[in-house]
Amino acid sequence: MNQHKSHRILFVCLGNICRSPAAEAVFKAKAKLQGIDVFVDSAGTSAWHQGEKADSRMRQAAAARGYQITSFSRPFNRNDFQNFDLIVAMDDLNFDDLKEKALTSEEDQKIVRMRDFLRHHRSDHIPDPYYGGADGFNLVIDLLEDASEGLLKVITSPARDSVQ
């Protein structure tokens, strides 16, 4: 796989069982459709669900749209700053937690928010669906589809020298 420098992307949420595993699956599928080589993974700022499959409600909502979520939860670790070019937070809590872990400005600059790539929807974060109903999981997929397309546009733009 062509692991071009700016195509190694890590999606991060709190538990790594709902939003970021879905982001990983949606983004990977959209990149494949566009013929763009990407290296993607996801992680949680917590280790609460380490080793678990993604939440069955999230897997179901994703499967209904044609996305297979196969990942197992793992916590973010400092090696991720080396192994990824972009670290994409689902909400402000995730963003702030990641920023606290960054030790250099290079690491700090890799951290961005998924909502910044939305092109059609308006939302200041990807809302945590864990304690809500089915609508929340479907909204997560809507937002992730939109932002994944926006993110793909940004990383493939020849003019880009920074995504921020």
Residue from 10, 11, 15, 42 binding ligand 4NP (CB under 6 A): 15
- Candidates 7, 8, 19, 30: give the one binding ligand 4NP (CB under 6 A): 19
CA distance 26 to 10: 13
The alpha carbon torsion through 90, 95, 97, 101 (nearest 10 deg) reads 120
Beta-bridged to residue 75, according to DSSP, are 44
Residues in the interface with ligand 4NP (CB under 6 A) total 10
Nearer to ligand 4NP, 22 or 38 (CB): 22
Q: What is the strand order of the sheet 111-113 is part of? A: 39-44, 8-13, 86-89, 111-113
Closest approach of ligand 4NP to the CB of residue 15, in Å: 3
* Least distance to ligand 4NP, CB of residue 108, Å: 22
**Which one among 9, 10, 18, 26 touches ligand 4NP, defined by CB under 6 A?**
18
Per the CB < 8 A criterion, the answer to whether 144 and 20 are in contact is no
Residues 127-146 within binding reach of ligand 4NP (CB under 6 A): 128, 130
* 13 touches ligand 4NP by CB under 6 A: yes
What residues are labeled active site?
Answer: 13, 19, 128
CB nearer ligand 4NP, residue 7 or residue 146: 146
CA dist 48 to 51, 117, 119, 129, 131, Å? 9, 28, 32, 16, 15
